[in-house]
Amino acid sequence: MRTGIGYDCHRLQIGRPLVLGGVTIPSTLGLLGHSDADVLLHAVMDALLGAAGLGDIGIHFPDNDNRYLGISSLKLLQQVGQFINESGFKIINIDCILIAEEPKIASYRQQILNNIADTLSISINNVNIKATTNERMGFVGRGEGIASLATVLIDEI
């Protein structure tokens, strides 16, 4: 068995869509990035790639490659899932946390869980999502950005 840890953060900006876990959430602020800037899925992807010893999302989906400009992170997650399977591993568990002052994601949680499980073809029982604030401290606390952490467990097939 192998574990992986992923982290991502993006700056909030007016006029961008706010996409978290593959769900577009109504907001005047969205995350700035080359793709859809989905911090939650980026952390999950980095955790999976790290666990399998396959580098990180910057290696596989560089931000200077226009093929990934504005791309849905669900499409990237699907590719990461294929990399994991092709490398002889299966996903056992994904646990992630979203760190943001806003938005509250309780009403989107089930859809996010479904998106991750469906995209990776794993049981929804093997995916967990939590959310917390940063108690108004730092860039997250000031509402300048959103961060996410993920940990995963994979095993050889």
Q: What is the mean pLDDT of residues 27-55?
A: 97
Q: Indicate the pTM of the whole model.
A: 0.97
What is the Cα–Cα distance from 79 to 76, expressed in whole angstroms?
5
Q: What is the extent of the structural domain holding 95?
A: 2-156
In one-letter notation, the amino acid at residue 55 is: G
Q: What would the two tokens of residue 89 be?
A: 């591993």
**The pLDDT value given to residue 37:** 98
> pLDDT tier at 144 (50, 70, 90 boundaries)?
very high
pLDDT in tens, 112-143: 999 999 999 999 999 999 999 999 999 999 99
pLDDT in tens, 46-104: 999 999 999 999 999 999 999 999 999 999 999 999 999 999 999 999 999 999 999 99
**The pLDDT value given to residue 60:** 97
Phi then psi for 103, rounded to 5 degrees?
-90, 170
**The pLDDT value given to residue 77:** 98
CATH of the domain at 80: 3.30.1330.50
**The pLDDT value given to residue 76:** 98
The number of domains in the chain is: 1
**The pLDDT value given to residue 151:** 98
Query: Secondary structure of the chain: what % helix, strand, coil (to 5)?
Result: 35, 30, 30
